[in-house]
């Protein structure tokens, strides 16, 4: 039973836990799927678990829904939610305590019930046994009464005397285990008394005294008893078992109990019991069972009167209840566990204890009725457990278990809620931090913008000063220094711009310019930018541009330069010996070169390098099937440029090669300490290359070197490829030179640069030549060093040594007795070479190289004769702008109002361009431009439709005047904004010659294309 209960309870607890788990799961899943709205609870369950599970699941999910509903309702107010779950927690703990106590109560009541049942069954068992044994005794007594009736009364003379009776009863005592003694009394009427007394030889004695004055057993003597007074009839005992022989001659009717008993017995004809009374002699409690012995067999329905008349005597059995019950109980195994009391309850209000100690009757009790066959007498057996009931340990442990489980679940819940709260707090904190971080990011951008603006302003001063310096009279070296300084300054400004660009690139807002530029000049600039850095390193820096690359390309020179600068700068950082070699080829060329296997040792400095082709291995362009360049070369005049930067530096470890293009990622933390830098350069380069529709790749061998290669797509500048007349300077044209260099790669580079000046170059590998017909002789430094002192060139050629570093030049000068050669510092670049040659040869006109004048000349070319409308509300500004434009030869017309400009620019008109101030009263520049564009559009449409004749509009069918915005604030008025309202570009106010040139060249160039 207990086991079953425990199992049942265990199942209940398990069920409860499952519900809880389900509820938690649904809560968690709901939280997780807060937006998805998918109920994971609906996952189909195995069929056998089926219906019940589904029901439960639904309930759980409903509950979850409700809770979640509440939850989401309260999600705004954390305090309320906290209270809510605290209440739930308290309720849960309360529920747990209640259930634990109810389980305790239930289980202990179960055990009490069980105990009761056990007691009842034990009690009943004892009662039944007692009753049975009693009945057995009673039956035997009855049988004895029959014996007496037959042998005593039925025979004359009697067959039984006292000795026979005593012997018989003694020997049959085992039949009557409950009787301590048997006696027989005959009925003697008063009339027969004397006869009887004489016959027996003793007088009938009365009994009552005996009862009233109990005496000790040994003192008891029946002879002391008083003779019975005269009565109607007597019932003296004639026979008795030896154990009770002392009652012989005592009149049973004289005893109060016995008398009643005898009377009742003869009336009923059944065994009749006395109330328990202390027995004579033993003084122990006992009852007497009395049977009437009749003279003849009576019918069962004989009347009491008949019975009385027929009564011959009375057989009595003495039952010593106490000893008997004890004897009985000893037979039973579990005697120790219970206490038995037997009561005579005939008089209900005053039960007489027949057996058992009269201890307090608290605690569990069971009452079993005893039926001894006498309807007048009622007996009860009261049973109690000896021991106090044991503690209900199972119930206690179970309820404690429930309590613990409840508390644990509560703890889990509490912890979960705390966790959720904490996570939410963290989340809010994170949101706060995120907001702050975003604000900081904005602040950072603003800071960057401000700072870069602030830096640009003084940098413009520096650049302007350098610009002015270049306009002054400088010798070639000074000019080169100034040029380098200026380019460096410009690079710095562009770097600042690039820092700003990084943000733009990341947000995809960067746009490339489309201007024509000279790639070779850009490369020269980059090389000269780094030449200073290489002075103290023994690293040769060289650039080579394939002759097939057009001299003018259209694209974004600044960005191209940025990429090359980044790559070269990167290489310089990591290279301490050998060379850095920048090559520019056309895509088609390299595809051809790739097929020709290169000699790995034929490099610029003779040191091995990483294979360039491997750096291009990932390029899609080269992996395409078929001929890859048919699509790239020129339906729309596109030029695919491949630039390689090859160095013999320390290389990049293989594991780091994959991530060098990630922003702020360097090979290792020690790298930034050793070499500095932000690690942003390569990332920007990659972005820029992608913007140029190209690809970038790298091939690197540790301790050998790296080769970065990228492709970029530009538009052909329109001029013929490999234009021989397009030299940097013309004064050397047609001269002949010999280049002495055993290294073919290096020779190729030197030859390329010398040829750019228009000089015909022949390459030889040693000095054993005839130099007489030459104008100049270029000798590699290493060749010169080897042949030092064995040289005799005569006088005709000028000798130039191509040298790498300042330190080595000194050694050349210190060599005595030799023709003093001219030193040409590497890296070679056209302007530098030209300057050196000029100095050596004494030719050329310095003034021709004054950049400012050159630019001014070109501006003059562009603007001369152009009719330009300048619109500005500020008369002073108007005058300044007009003055600047007039200086370059343009014809300037003023307008002070936007409306004025509109009327002037309504076709037909003869303006080539319009410079429009943006911020004007009444109508600003944007608005005016829009209106002008609208007017132009409607007129163009009408001309096309034939409503207006083209002749009236100077034979121009497509009117579009070039409008340039003038603004003081270049940052505010962005290029896009100008384009949006139909402007063609913008110039900053006040005019700067270079910017003006750039903008004007952009569209007057195209104007020329459209209207030649």
**Interface residues with other proteins (CB under 8 A)?**
461, 464-465, 468, 873-877, 879-880, 883-884, 886-887, 919, 921, 968, 989-992
Contacts of residue 320, defined as CB under 8 A and 6 or more positions apart, other chains included, come to 178, 180, 279, 282, 284, 285, 286
Token representation of residue 911 = 């303006």
Residue 968 CB, shortest distance to other proteins, in Å, is 6
DSSP state of 245: G
Residue closer to other proteins by CB (options 959, 991) is 991
Q: Are 587 and 629 in contact (CB under 8 A)?
A: yes
Residue closer to other proteins by CB (options 493, 880) is 880
Exposed / middle / buried, residue 830 (Cβ in 10 Å: 0-12, 13-18, 19+) = buried
- Helical spans, DSSP H, in 787-924: 806-814, 830-841, 851-863, 875-887, 898-904
Residue closer to other proteins by CB (options 781, 872) is 872
Residue closer to other proteins by CB (options 437, 968) is 968
Q: How many CB atoms lie within 10 A of CB 171?
A: 9
Contacts of residue 334, defined as CB under 8 A and 6 or more positions apart, other chains included, come to 122
CA–CA dist 79, 35 (Å, integer):
23
Residue closer to other proteins by CB (options 375, 883) is 883
Terminal C-alpha separation, the chain: 114
Residue 668 CB, shortest distance to other proteins, in Å, is 45
Residue closer to other proteins by CB (options 633, 874) is 874
Residue 887 CB, shortest distance to other proteins, in Å, is 5
CA–CA dist 617, 602 (Å, integer):
21
Give the helix/strand (H/E) hosting 353.
strand 352-355
CA–CA dist 222, 947 (Å, integer):
170
CA–CA dist 870, 877 (Å, integer):
10
Q: Are 273 and 372 in contact (CB under 8 A)?
A: yes
Contacts of residue 637, defined as CB under 8 A and 6 or more positions apart, other chains included, come to 715, 716, 718
Residue 876 CB, shortest distance to other proteins, in Å, is 4
Residue closer to other proteins by CB (options 755, 877) is 877
Could you give the 3-state DSSP secondary structure of residue 153? helix
Residue 873 CB, shortest distance to other proteins, in Å, is 7
Residue closer to other proteins by CB (options 748, 886) is 886
Residue 471 CB, shortest distance to other proteins, in Å, is 10
Q: Are 127 and 369 in contact (CB under 8 A)?
A: yes
Residue closer to other proteins by CB (options 142, 874) is 874
SS3 annotation, 551-589: CCEEECHHHHHHHHHHHHHHHHHHCCEEEEEEEEEEHHH
Distance of CA 864 to the CA centre of its chain: 70
Q: Are 582 and 829 in contact (CB under 8 A)?
A: no
Distance of CA 207 to the CA centre of its chain: 104
Residue 812 CB, shortest distance to other proteins, in Å, is 36
Residue 479 CB, shortest distance to other proteins, in Å, is 17
Q: How many CB atoms lie within 10 A of CB 738?
A: 21
Residue closer to other proteins by CB (options 335, 879) is 879
Residue 1001 CB, shortest distance to other proteins, in Å, is 20
CA–CA dist 140, 603 (Å, integer):
140
Residue closer to other proteins by CB (options 785, 873) is 873
Residue 996 CB, shortest distance to other proteins, in Å, is 11
Q: Are 522 and 562 in contact (CB under 8 A)?
A: no
Residue closer to other proteins by CB (options 465, 970) is 465
CA–CA dist 745, 824 (Å, integer):
18
CA–CA dist 112, 116 (Å, integer):
6
Residue 989 CB, shortest distance to other proteins, in Å, is 7
Residue 863 CB, shortest distance to other proteins, in Å, is 13
Residue 928 CB, shortest distance to other proteins, in Å, is 17
**Angle at CA of residue 786, ends 783 and 789, nearest 5°:** 110
Residue closer to other proteins by CB (options 230, 876) is 876
């Amino acid at each position: 039973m207990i086991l079953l209960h425990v199992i049942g309870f265990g199942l209940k607890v398990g069920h409860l836990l499952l519900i809880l788990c389900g509820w938690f799961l649904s809560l968690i899943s709901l939280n997780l799927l807060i937006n998805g709205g998918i109920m994971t609870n609906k996952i189909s369950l195995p069929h056998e678990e089926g219906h019940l599970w589904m029901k439960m699941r639904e309930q759980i999910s409903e509950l979850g829904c409700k809770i979640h509903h509440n939850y989401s309702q309260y999600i705004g107010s954390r305090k309320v939610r906290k209270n809510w779950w605290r209440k739930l927690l308290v309720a849960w703990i309360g529920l747990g305590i209640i259930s634990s106590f109810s389980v305790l109560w239930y289980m202990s009541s179960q055990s009490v019930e069980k105990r009761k049942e056990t007691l009842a069954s034990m009690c009943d068992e004892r009662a039944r046994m007692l009753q049975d044994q009693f009945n057995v005794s009673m039956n035997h007594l009855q049988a004895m009464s029959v014996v007496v009736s037959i042998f005593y009364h039925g025979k004359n003379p009697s067959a039984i005397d006292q000795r026979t009776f005593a012997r018989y009863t003694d020997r049959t005592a085992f039949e009557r285990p409950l009787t301590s003694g048997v006696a027989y009394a005959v009925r003697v009427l008063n009339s027969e008394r004397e006869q009887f007394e004489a016959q027996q030889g003793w007088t009938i004695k009365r009994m009552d005294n005996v009862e009233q004055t109990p005496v000790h057993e040994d003192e008891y003597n029946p002879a002391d008893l008083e003779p019975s007074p005269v009565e109607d009839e007597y019932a003296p005992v004639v026979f008795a078992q030896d154990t009770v022989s002392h009652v012989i001659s005592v009149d049973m009717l004289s005893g109060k109990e016995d008398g009643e008993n005898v009377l009742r017995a003869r009336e009923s004809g059944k065994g009749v019991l006395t109330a328990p009374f202390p027995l004579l002699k033993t003084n122990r409690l006992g009852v007497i069972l009395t049977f009437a012995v009749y003279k003849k067999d009576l019918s069962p329905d004989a009347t009491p009167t008949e019975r009385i008349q027929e009564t011959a005597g009375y057989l009595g059995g003495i039952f010593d209840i106490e000893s008997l019950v004890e004897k009985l109980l000893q037979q039973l195994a579990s005697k120790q566990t219970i206490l038995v009391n037997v009561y005579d309850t005939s008089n209900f209000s005053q039960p007489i204890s027949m057996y058992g100690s009269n201890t307090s009757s608290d605690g569990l009790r069971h009452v079993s009725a005893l039926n001894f066959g006498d309807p007048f007498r009622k007996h009860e057996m009261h049973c109690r457990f000896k021991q106090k009931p044991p503690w209900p340990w199972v119930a206690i442990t179970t309820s404690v278990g429930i309590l613990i489980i409840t508390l644990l679940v509560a703890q889990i819940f509490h912890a979960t809620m705390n966790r959720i709260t904490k996570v939410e707090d963290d989340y809010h904190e994170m949101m706060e931090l995120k907001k702050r971080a975003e604000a900081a990011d904005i602040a950072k951008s603003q800071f960057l913008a401000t700072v870069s603006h602030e830096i640009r302003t003084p940098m413009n001063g520096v650049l302007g000063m350098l610009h002015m310096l270049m306009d002054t009279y400088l010798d070639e070296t000074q000019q080169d220094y100034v040029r380098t300084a200026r380019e460096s300054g410009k690079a710095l400004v562009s770097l600042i711009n690039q820092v700003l660009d990084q943000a733009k690139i990341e947000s995809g807002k960067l746009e490339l310019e489309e201007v024509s530029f000279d790639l070779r000049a850009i490369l020269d600039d980059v090389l000269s930018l780094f030449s200073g850095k290489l002075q103290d390193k023994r690293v040769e820096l060289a650039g080579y541009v394939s002759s097939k690359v057009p001299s003018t390309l259209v694209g974004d020179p600044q960005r191209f330069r940025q990429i090359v600068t980044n790559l070269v700068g990167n290489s310089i950082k990591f290279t301490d010996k050998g060379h850095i070699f920048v090559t520019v080829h056309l895509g088609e060329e390299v595809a051809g070169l790739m097929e020709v296997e290169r000699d790995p040792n034929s490099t610029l400095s003779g040191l091995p390098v990483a294979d360039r082709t491997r750096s291009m291995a990932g390029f899609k362009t080269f992996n395409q099937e078929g001929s890859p360049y048919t699509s790239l070369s020129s339906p729309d005049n596109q030029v695919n440029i491949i630039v390689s930067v090859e160095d013999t530096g320390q290389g990049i470890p293989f594991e780091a090669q994959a991530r060098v293009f990630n922003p702020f990622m360097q090979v290792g933390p020690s790298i930034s300490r050793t070499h500095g830098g932000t690690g942003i350069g390569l990332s920007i380069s990659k972005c820029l290359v992608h913007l140029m529709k190209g690809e970038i790749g790298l091939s690197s061998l540790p301790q050998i070197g790296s080769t970065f290669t990228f492709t970029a797509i530009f538009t052909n500048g329109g001029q013929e490829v490999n234009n021989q007349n397009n030299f940097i300077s013309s004064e050397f044209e047609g001269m002949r030179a010999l280049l002495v260099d055993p290294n073919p790669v290096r020779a190729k580079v030197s030859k390329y640069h010398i040829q750019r000046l228009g000089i015909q170059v022949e390459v030889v590998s040693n000095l054993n030549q005839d130099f007489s017909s030459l104008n100049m002789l270029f000798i590699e430094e290493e060749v010169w060093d080897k042949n030092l002192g064995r040289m005799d060139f005569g006088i005709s050629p000028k000798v130039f040594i191509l040298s790498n570093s300042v330190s080595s030049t000194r050694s050349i000068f210190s060599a005595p007795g030799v023709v003093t050669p001219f030193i040409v510092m590497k890296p070679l670049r056209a302007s530098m070479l030209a300057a050196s040659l000029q100095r050596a040869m004494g030719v050329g006109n310095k003034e021709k190289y004054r950049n400012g004048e050159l630019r001014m000349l070109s501006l003059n070319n562009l603007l001369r004769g152009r009719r330009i409308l300048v619109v500005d509300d500020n008369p002073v500004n108007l005058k300044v702008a007009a003055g600047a434009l007039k200086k370059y030869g343009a014809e300037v017309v003023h307008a002070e109002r936007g409306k004025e400009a509109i009327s002037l620019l309504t076709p037909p008109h003869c303006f080539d361009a319009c410079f429009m101030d943006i911020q004007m009263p009444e109508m600003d520049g944007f608005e005016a431009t829009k209106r002008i564009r609208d007017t132009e559009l409607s007129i163009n449409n009408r001309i096309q439709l034939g409503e207006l004749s083209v002749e009236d509009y100077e034979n121009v069918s497509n009117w579009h005047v070039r409008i340039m915005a003038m603004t003081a604030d270049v940052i505010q008025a962005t290029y896009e904004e100008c384009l949006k309202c139909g402007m063609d570009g913008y110039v900053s106010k006040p005019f700067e010659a270079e910017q003006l040139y750039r903008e004007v060249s952009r569209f007057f160039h195209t104007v020329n294309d459209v209207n030649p």
